[in-house]
Amino acid sequence: MKCALVTGGSRGIGRAICVRLAEMGYHIIINYKGNLEAANETLSLVRAKGSDGELLQFDVANKEEILQLLGGWVEANSEKYIEVLVNNAGIKDDGLMMWMKDAQWENVIDTSLGGFFYVTRIVLNSMLLKKYGRIINVVSLSGLKGLPGQVNYSAAKAGVIGATKALAQEVGRRGITVNAVAPGFIKTDMTEGLDEKELKSMIPVKRFGTAEEVAHAVGFLASPQAGYITAEVLSINGGLYS
């Protein structure tokens, strides 16, 4: 059975990616951190597309949990194969660096960059054996440009961009592509507190993007037809920065 694992699949961009990959016929493994209700809602949306899926709760910032729960899942499900991995789970915890606490730095780095490393390392093995795989990392405009107040978040996302390009070169000969999508301002819980009215005036297309627009690009990069695209960072930002 061909599966797609989406970290942070319970809400926002991750949920829309689960739905898009379900439309493409994948069995969806929906990872989430704590919001069971939202994760179940994603599962219902996946089923409404005629596909199926399952929930897999673990904290991507906790390498022991990843090893135990994702590693355990891989071991227990030898008939299932994760063909598509979307490293989407991410948090922000903004503040000027001068006043940034250790925990703000560590939590954001551990979730995006640590999560990428520990989750991907487990999933990579079967992709290498099958000589096929699609890895898509959800980064950010902040990781390309750097944004004040987001030294932690910009560093985490820039780290994932570097890792994307390096890993793509390691595994290209095995039929595995590794790409990133870099959203700008997308309407989700993460951007809820932002002043959309003011910010959208800076965006050439004059609006925030939708999670479905990001998911569409992820679906494209996950498709077999995108096999000659790797080590790429695709901006999805309404022209704000590229």
Residues assigned a catalytic role = 153
Task: Tell me how far apart the alpha carbons of residues 141 and 210 are, in angstroms, rounded to a whole number.
Answer: 15
The closest of 25, 67, 36, 69 to 222, measured between CA atoms, is: 25
Neighbouring-strand partners of residue 81: 2
Does position 17 interact with ligand NAP (CB under 6 A)? The reply is: no
Sequence letter at residue 200: K
Closest to 183 in 3D by CA, of 138, 220, 225: 138
DSSP letter string, 119-132: HHHHHHHHHHHHT-
**Based on CB atoms, which residue is closest to ligand NAP, 20 or 132?**
20
Q: Pick one of 5, 12, 29, 221: the residue that binds ligand NAP (CB under 6 A).
A: 12
Give strand pairing partners of 138.
Answer: 181
CA dihedral in degrees (7, 235, 114, 146; nearest 10)? -140
Please identify, using beta-carbon distances, which residue of 38 and 168 lies nearer to ligand NAP: 38
Q: Which tokens belong to 82?
A: 């994760």
A 10 A CB-CB count for 29 gives 23
Q: Which two tokens stand for residue 157?
A: 């996302």
Kindly tell me which residue out of 5, 13, 144, 168 binds ligand NAP, with binding defined by CB under 6 A. 13
Decide if residue 190 touches ligand NAP (CB under 6 A). yes
Q: Is 238 in the site for ligand NAP (CB under 6 A)?
A: no
**Distance (Å, whole) CA 188 – CA 177:** 27
Among the candidate windows 4-12, 21-29, 98-106, 199-207, which touches ligand NAP by CB under 6 A? 4-12
Q: Residues 3, 28, 29, 33: which binds ligand NAP (CB under 6 A)?
A: 33
Give residues 53-82 in contact with ligand NAP (rule: CB under 6 A).
59-61
Q: How far is the CB of 232 from ligand NAP (least distance, A)?
A: 16
Applying CB under 6 A, which of residues 8, 114, 133, 238 lies at the interface with ligand NAP? 8
219 binds ligand NAP (CB under 6 A): no
Instruction: Report if residue 114 touches ligand NAP, rule: CB under 6 A.
Output: no
Contacting residues toward ligand NAP, per CB under 6 A:
7-8, 10-14, 31-35, 38, 59-61, 88-91, 111, 138, 140, 183, 185-186, 188-191
